[in-house]
Amino acid sequence: MENFRIQDDLYMHVNSEALENLVIPDDKPTAGGFSELSDAVEKIMMDEFETMAASKSYPNDYLKRACELYNLAKDADRKEKDGIAPALKHLAVLDEVKELGDFSRLYQTLSLHGIPTPINIGVETDMKNTKQRLVYLQGAGVILPDASYYKPEMAPQKEQILGIWTNVAKMVMTKTDLTPEDQEKYVNDALAFDEILGGLVKTSEEWSRYVEMYNPMDTDEVSEMLSTLDFKSILTELFGRVPETVVVTEPRFFGAFASVLNADTLELYKHWAYVTGLLRSCSYLSEELRDMGGMYMRAITGVAKMQDIDKFAYNLASGVYSEPVGIYYGEKYFGEEAKRDITEIVYQIIDTYKTRIKTNEILGEETREKAILKLSKMGVKMGYPSKVRALYEKLVFNTEDSLLDAMIALNAVRELDTLAQLDEPTNPENWAMPGHMVNACYDPFVNDITFPAAILQPPFYSLKQTRSENLGGIGAVIGHEISHAFDSNGAKCDENGNINNWWTEDDFKRFEAKVNQMIEQFDGIELPWGKVNGAFIVSENMADNGGVSVTLDIMGRTEGASYEEYFYNWARVWCQKAKPEFSQMLLAVDVHGPCMLRANIPPRNFDEWYTTFGVTENDKMYIAPEKRIVIW
Ligand SMILES: [Zn+2]
């Protein structure tokens, strides 16, 4: 085994042995790190589901329904008997779309039957007044993993991946009742419609700038943009009235909408909706179709085989009933003592940010006060919520139905519930993530952080680990999430999560200069599977840098602190092995940078890294002092 000096490659020094032994499971694109914890939670909860389903004894009604859905999803014989029929039944709604006017008339019906449409109408928090909600308008999804693949310079990858998709689509289409000529035509039309969408919808990089989604417009104006539709009658059907304002999240797409859907492209749309809708349904059909439908995704992520039916059923059911499942997991597997300890760490980190901001050189006095106010008002959600939100009462399905019918019914409940909330105030008590999810987040529009119980485990956190290890693990992740309040998106929202400029012009200029430095620190780094786009991942990199900065500050004040333990655990949490296809796709769709860069780049911005390991200009993990970036 190759020997990696820590001064040259922290990530490999700490993880090379673990990486050598890691085996990526056949049904997953990655192993190690976050996915190792997820797999462990999955195993625990699958056993729980099995026990509950077998004994027919459930802790509550939500878990009963989750187990019923689990049973339905793993009933291979039942799904085999239903075959493709449930999908064809829902797709038949498309037959009623004979002319353009029918699309507007049937918009909601199509949507509730799970049929893809080129416009998507939803209800979300008003980003300028986060106590209330507005109607949001979004475009369609594309066949390729991201709209950036439709740029001319990506032509070779595009052609290769679309080739895979075309083969899969054609294979699935042979199972329908269409003639071979029609099957061929439908797939070609779907590709032609996708080509129109691909040039207009937003790329992941564009979506990563949240604030740019917020383009509230007068409904009359939006109606004019969508001149080929009867937009107001669609809204009336959804809301019983025409709301005054609509937020257009994708101005480029909707500006050109008349060229997307019109009398000439209606047939292309219908065939696109049929083929992509059918492929989307495949997971809920027979095992043969589930296998076929998953081939495209598996090919582009390098996954060898589909999930076995039990795992699939568990993931489906625990996704639909995620909040109650997360509460069950949290109550049983996450102790009160750990919750107290971790909450204490969170407030220590928040306080440390406040102290650091008081002397921050890029902010003037006035802006510092606003930043501190934002920290003071930040919500903290640790572990799992105390109660299940009302929506789950309504998430019922008929156990006699086919799995696809059940899923469509459940999604319809969700969709109608969301639309019905347009005039309801938002609820900051809602959790953004369930307790059994191995992840964490900051919500810029609520100004809160969420740490589900499932991430509060080793190597991130344990009462048995040293304080230094916990600071390099969960501490830095907590610091990361809090730092999102001041990344390139968060900086544009105030203490209530409203888009609001609380910066003086000079302060913001200095801040932007730092943002640009951070873009440069990562931009263009060559990896075996492609080049890093520094602008796309800048928010996450700023957050990592903030997380390390604030926890190193605490380390400096912690008795008996060990910087070795701190940096080792920081590197350990990023240990991950991934299929190259998957890593390549992430470069285009993931706002987070590749794991080894997240482990290796932030430390070199801090003095503690150099003093702890004697790193000098002769080492690979050295950068000149003037290139080191500390923002918060
Ligand atoms: Zn983040």
Catalytic residue among 9, 507, 544, 553: 544
pLDDT attached to residue 463: 86
Whether residues 253 and 380 share a domain: the answer is: no
In a domain, 273, yes or no: yes
Closest CA to 276 of 296, 259, 258: 296
The token pair that represents 256 in the structure block? 């050109």
Give the residue-averaged pLDDT of 584-613: 97
Tell me, yes or no, whether 50 lies in a domain: no
Cut 0.75: pTM above it? yes
Q: What average pLDDT does the segment 73-84 reach?
A: 97
pLDDT in tens, 484-535: 999 888 999 999 999 999 999 999 999 999 999 999 999 999 999 999 999 9
Q: Is 310 among the residues known to form the active site?
A: no
**DSSP character for 314?**
H
Residue 295 lies in a domain: yes
Tens-place pLDDT, residues 213-259: 999 999 999 999 999 999 999 999 999 999 999 999 999 999 999 99
| CA distance linking residue 321 with residue 314, whole number of Å | 11
Residue 59 pLDDT more than 80?
A: yes
Domain shared by 157 and 185, yes or no: yes
Find the 481 Cα to ligand 1 centroid distance in Å.
6
- The Å distance, Cα 486 to ligand 1 centre, comes to 11
- Give the residue among 594, 615, 627, 628 at the shortest CA–CA distance from 525: 594
Question: In this model, does residue 335 exceed pLDDT 80?
Answer: no
Give 133-150 pLDDT, tens digit per residue.
Answer: 999 999 999 999 999 999
Give the distance between the most distant pair of CA atoms in the chain: 75
Can 544 be counted among the known catalytic residues? yes
pLDDT of residue 25: 93
Tell me the pLDDT band of 395, cut-offs 50, 70 and 90. Answer: very high
Q: Is the pLDDT of residue 469 over 90?
A: yes
pLDDT at 3: 87
- Quick one: pLDDT band at residue 1, thresholds 50, 70, 90? low
Distances (CA, A) of 52 to 55, 66, 537, 541: 5, 10, 42, 43
Distance 519 CA to ligand 1 centre (A): 15
Is 578 buried (19+), middle (13-18) or exposed (0-12) by CB count in 10 A? Answer: buried
Structure tokens at 148: 């950036």
Distance 212 CA to ligand 1 centre (A): 18
Number of domains in the chain: 2
Mean pLDDT, the chain, integer = 96
Write down the pLDDT at residue 257.
98
pLDDT above 70: residue 62? yes
Among the listed residues 481, 494, 507, 540, the single catalytic one is 481
Q: How far is the CA of 456 from the centre of ligand 1 (A)?
A: 16
Q: Domain of residue 179: give its range.
A: 82-306
Closest CA to 63 of 439, 402, 323, 330: 323
Per-residue pLDDT at 421 exceeds 90: yes
- 306, 331, 352 - which closes a domain: 306
The alpha carbon of 480 and the centre of ligand 1 are apart by a number of angstroms equal to 6
CA of 484 to the centre of ligand 1 (A): 7
CATH number at residue 108: 1.10.1380.10
In the predicted structure, residue 151 carries a pLDDT above the cut 80: yes
Domain boundary among 247, 278, 306: 306
Is the domain of 286 the same as that of 353? no
pLDDT digits (tens, 9 = 90+) for 528-580: 999 999 999 999 999 999 999 999 999 999 999 999 999 999 999 999 999 99
Residue 414 in domain: no
Ligand 1: centre distance to CA 248 (Å) = 25
What confidence score (pLDDT) does residue 339 get? 83
